[in-house]
Amino acid sequence: MKVLLVEDNEQLAHWIARILQDDGFLLDQVRDGENADLMLRTNHYDVVLLDLNLPGFSGKAVLRRLRERGDATPVLILTATGSVDEKVVCLTAGADDYVVKPFDSRELVARVKVLVRRQLPSRANVVHCGDLAYNLDTRQFTVDAQALALRPKEHAVLETLILKAGKTVSKSALAASLGDATSHTTEDAIEIYVSRVRKKLEHSAATIITLRGLGYLLQAGDDEE
C-alpha cells in the first residue's frame, strides 16, 4: 500500500514516515501544496495524509482540486486545529477522516488501514482469493492458513493484485507499487517479480493471469478466465 504524506513540519513528517514505513507502507513525501497537487495528478496512492497549513496553496485547496478532478483517493486530514467548524468544512470538501495533532502512532496507522479497507467490496480485515488470504492489519499473506514467505517486492506485487482481485492491474500500476517518486521499476523487473510470486502460489487456488497488453489479473484458480 502506498501513501502520500503532505506535511511541512520536517520533524513531524520524519516521525510519521518512520511509523508508516515500519508498518510496511510505501511512502512519498512533499512539503507544499503545489508539489502535492502535482504528485496527485501523476501518481496513484491508496491514502493521502494531508496537512492543512502548507506553503503555497493550502491543504484545503489541494483537497478541492483533487475532488474536482473526480479523484476519490481517501484523504486523512492532519491538523492542529480541532474545531468542529473546521472538521465540517474539511469533511464537506471531501475529506474522509480527520485527526488532530498530537496523535498516537497506533491511531494513525489504524485510521490509514480503515481508509484502505473502505475501498474493498467486503470492507473486511482479511481479503480472500481462493485459499489465499491477506490480513490488512498484520500485512501477512497465508495460503490455506499457512504463512506465505515473500520478499518485499514480491509482497508489494501480491498486495496490489489482491486488493484489486478480479480486476486487471497494469504494469505501470504494479511499478508504482514497488517504489517511490524517485525510483523507477522497469517492465522486465515487473515480469520477474510476478514470475516469482507465481511460483510461490503454485500450490494455491489463487493464480496470476497475464492479459497481453493490459496487465495482470489475480483470481481463484476455478474462476473462468
Q: Bridge partners of 97?
A: 76
Question: DSSP states of 28-53 as a string?
Answer: EEESSHHHHHHHHHH---SEEEEESS
Mean per-residue pLDDT of the chain:
89
CATH 3.40.50.740 fits 2-118, yes or no: no
Query: Would you place residue 176 in the very low, low, confident or very high pLDDT band (cuts 50, 70, 90)?
Result: confident
Whole-angstrom Cα distance, residue 7 to residue 221? 43
Give the tens place of pLDDT for each residue, 138-162. Answer: 889 999 999 999 998 999 999 999 9
Give the tens place of pLDDT for each residue, 25-76. Answer: 889 999 999 999 999 998 889 999 999 989 988 999 999 999 999 999 999 9
Determine the 3-state secondary structure of 193 from DSSP: helix
**29's grid cell:** 513525501
Give the global pTM. 0.80
Query: Would you place residue 180 in the very low, low, confident or very high pLDDT band (cuts 50, 70, 90)?
Result: low
CATH architecture of 126-220: Orthogonal Bundle (1.10)
Domain spans, the chain: 2-118, 126-220
| 182 has a pLDDT exceeding 70 | no
